[in-house]
């Protein structure tokens, strides 16, 4: 990812580690409140002065059809942290965008539970959709990109993943260690284009000019891992109709091997944790089998199966 976003990612990871050790919190916004856009000279993803391409870029029009997506995957981070990461920017065929700027400061951890900043959503006009797609395909480099770009000079970095389904193209492009571009690295020009695209999509509506509102998920993915016996703040198992064995490993994409299960809003509410809409991590539970577990929850976006 671009350097400024990588710094934000590492800062978020540090905050998570501090929260896990119970040694601190930050002066971040109160849980559940919208995260403020950060001042920047970088343009919004939908500049009003950019003309739309004269030739329309064809794309699906369904509310669950992903026509452009940007996400970060992998890297040196705890397994539960990785499993709760959702796409940073998703544009759907009907013009809906669901996004979360990774540079937004997360809410402060409370009761040992880490909360993520909520996603936001907005509906774009077709002209605005065309502007974003034109940039992604041309200047952003996705139109001519191959599937994978490596970087053997860096280890333990994350991978930027772009999904494109427009203009007759249907591809997924993965760029390892994007933004950590050392001298002599192959594909420098292509990586520069991807970095511009990542920066633009991650900074979507950073100036707050679009009529975006909080995204209200109707389903969540719960990831269950082994917890620490006697962990502070441990809660009794909240469900009578769900057992630990109902969380199944290997069925969800980007779950990093953790057992997962789709949870309804009511099932997440049963945890007794507020401000969970953007996702939560580190909920310590005592199972009906007497074992200790740690639960992480992340919102599911339209079209995601769990």
Question: Strand locations in the chain, DSSP E?
Answer: 66-73, 89-92, 96-99, 114-115, 120-123, 148-149, 159-166, 169-176, 213-214, 219-226, 235-236, 260-264, 280-286, 292-299
- Helix, strand, coil share of the chain (percent; to 5): 20, 25, 55
Query: Average pLDDT of 149-167?
Result: 93
* Phi, psi angle pair for 82, to nearest 5°: -65, -40
Nearest to 230 by CA among 294, 181, 169: 294
Same domain for 94 and 136, yes or no, is yes
pLDDT score at 54: 55
Same domain for 43 and 183, yes or no, is yes
Tell me the per-residue pLDDT of 2-32, one tens digit each, with 9 for 90 and over.
433 443 433 343 333 333 333 333 333 333 3
pLDDT score at 44: 56
Burial 207-233 (b: 16+ CB within 10 A, else e): eeebebeebebebbbbbbbebeeebee
The mean pLDDT value of the chain amounts to 83
Range of the domain at 264: 217-299
Confidence of residue 83 (pLDDT cuts 50, 70, 90): confident
304 belongs to a structural domain: no
Nearest to 236 by CA among 272, 268, 260: 272
User: How many domains does the chain fold into?
Assistant: 2
Query: Is residue 52 pLDDT above 60, yes or no?
Result: no
Question: Strand locations in 82-133, DSSP E?
Answer: 89-92, 96-99, 114-115, 120-123
13 belongs to a structural domain: yes
Between 82 and 241, the higher pLDDT residue: 241
Tell me the per-residue pLDDT of 114-140, one tens digit each, with 9 for 90 and over.
999 999 999 999 999 999 999 999 999
Q: Which helix (H) or strand (E) holds 3?
A: helix 3-21
212 belongs to a structural domain: no
162 belongs to a structural domain: yes
Query: Is residue 260 pLDDT above 70, yes or no?
Result: yes
pLDDT score at 34: 40
Same domain for 21 and 98, yes or no, is yes
Same domain for 143 and 265, yes or no, is no
Tell me the per-residue pLDDT of 56-69, one tens digit each, with 9 for 90 and over.
999 999 999 999 99
- Residue 260 in contact with residue 222, Cβ under 8 Å? yes
Tokens (6 digits) for 55: 């030739």
**Where does a domain end: 179, 202, 225?**
202
Tokens (6 digits) for 264: 């309804």
The C-alpha angle 176, 107, 242, rounded to 5 degrees, equals 80
211 belongs to a structural domain: no
Q: How many helices (H) and strands (E) does the chain have?
A: 5, 14
């Amino acid at each position: 990812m671009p350097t400024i976003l990588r710094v934000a990612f590492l800062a978020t990871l540090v905050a998570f580690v501090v929260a896990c050790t119970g040694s601190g919190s930050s002066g971040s916004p109160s849980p559940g409140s919208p995260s403020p856009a950060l001042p920047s000279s970088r343009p919004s993803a939908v500049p009003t002065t950019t003309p739309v391409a004269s030739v329309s870029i064809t794309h699906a029009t369904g509310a669950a059809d992903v026509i452009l997506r940007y996400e970060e995957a992998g890297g040196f981070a705890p397994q539960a942290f990785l499993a709760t990461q959702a796409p940073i920017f998703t544009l759907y065929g009907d013009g809906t965008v669901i996004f979360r700027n990774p540079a937004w400061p997360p809410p402060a951890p409370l009761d040992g539970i880490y909360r993520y900043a909520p996603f936001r959503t907005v509906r774009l006009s077709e002209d605005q959709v065309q502007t974003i797609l034109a940039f992604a395909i041309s200047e952003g480099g996705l139109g001519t990109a191959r599937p994978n770009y490596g970087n053997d000079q860096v280890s333990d970095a994350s991978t930027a993943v772009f999904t494109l389904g427009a203009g007759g193209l249907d591809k997924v492009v993965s760029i390892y260690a994007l933004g950590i571009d050392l001298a002599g690295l192959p594909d420098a020009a292509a990586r520069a284009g991807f970095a511009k695209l990542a920066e633009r999509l991650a900074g979507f509506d950073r100036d707050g000019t679009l009529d975006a509102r909080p995204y209200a998920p109707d389903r969540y993915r719960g990831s269950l891992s082994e917890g620490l016996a006697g962990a502070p703040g441990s809660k009794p198992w909240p469900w009578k109709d769900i057992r630990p064995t109902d969380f199944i490993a290997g069925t969800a994409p980007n779950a990093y091997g953790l057992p997962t299960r789709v949870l309804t809003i009511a099932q997440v509410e049963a945890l007794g944790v507020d401000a969970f809409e953007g996702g939560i991590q580190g909920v310590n539970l005592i199972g009906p089998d007497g074992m200790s577990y740690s639960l992480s929850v992340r919102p599911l976006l339209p079209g995601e199966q769990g």
